[in-house]
Amino acid sequence: MINKKNALRAVLMALLCAPALCVHAQNQWTYDFNNGFLPIESGGPALKPLGRPGQIIKEQIPGSDGLSRSIYVFEKNSGLQFNSGEAKGFLNKSFTVEIYFKLDSLDIWKRVLDFKNRKSDYGTYIYHGKLNFFNFAMSEKAAVRAKQWVHYVYSRDYETKVIRMYINGILKLDFKDPGTEGVLDADQVLNIFQDDLIAGNESSAGTVALIRIYDRVMTPVFVRRSYQSIAKTFKEPVAQKEEPKEEPKPVEEKPEPARNKNLAVVTGRVYDSRNLKPVNDAEVHVRKSTNDSLVAHTRTVDGVYNVELPPHETYRITAQADGFQSKSVTVRTNNRFEEVKALMNMAPETHSTPLSTLYFSQGTEVLEDSALADLDSIVNYFQKRQDLRLVLKGHTDNTGSFEKNLELSNKRVETVRAYLIGKGIIASRIEGSGYGSAQPNQVNRTEATKKSNRRVEVWAESVKR
To the nearest whole number, what is the mean pLDDT of the chain? 85
Residue range 48-79, pLDDT digits in tens: 999 999 999 998 877 666 778 899 999 999 99
- Residue 310 to residue 178: CA distance in whole angstroms: 41
Q: Exposed/middle/buried for 253, CB within 10 Å: 0-12, 13-18, 19+? A: exposed
pLDDT at 258 over 80: no
- Residue 85 to residue 188: CA distance in whole angstroms: 5
Q: How confident is the model at residue 200 (pLDDT cuts 50, 70, 90)?
A: low
Residue range 375-387, pLDDT digits in tens: 988 898 898 888 8
Which residues make beta-bridge pairs with 313?
A: 333
Residue range 311-344, pLDDT digits in tens: 999 999 988 888 888 788 999 998 887 778 788 8
- Residue 25 to residue 39: CA distance in whole angstroms: 10
Q: CB atoms < 10 A from the CB of 275, how many?
A: 18
Closest to 177 measured CA to CA, from 151, 152, 198, 156: 156
Residue range 352-365, pLDDT digits in tens: 888 889 999 999 99
Kindly calculate the radius of gyration of the chain based on its CA atoms and give it in whole angstroms.
Answer: 29
Q: Are 163 and 173 in contact (CB under 8 A)?
A: yes
Q: CB atoms < 10 A from the CB of 76, how many?
A: 19
Residue range 441-464, pLDDT digits in tens: 999 999 999 999 999 999 998 876
- Residue 409 to residue 398: CA distance in whole angstroms: 12
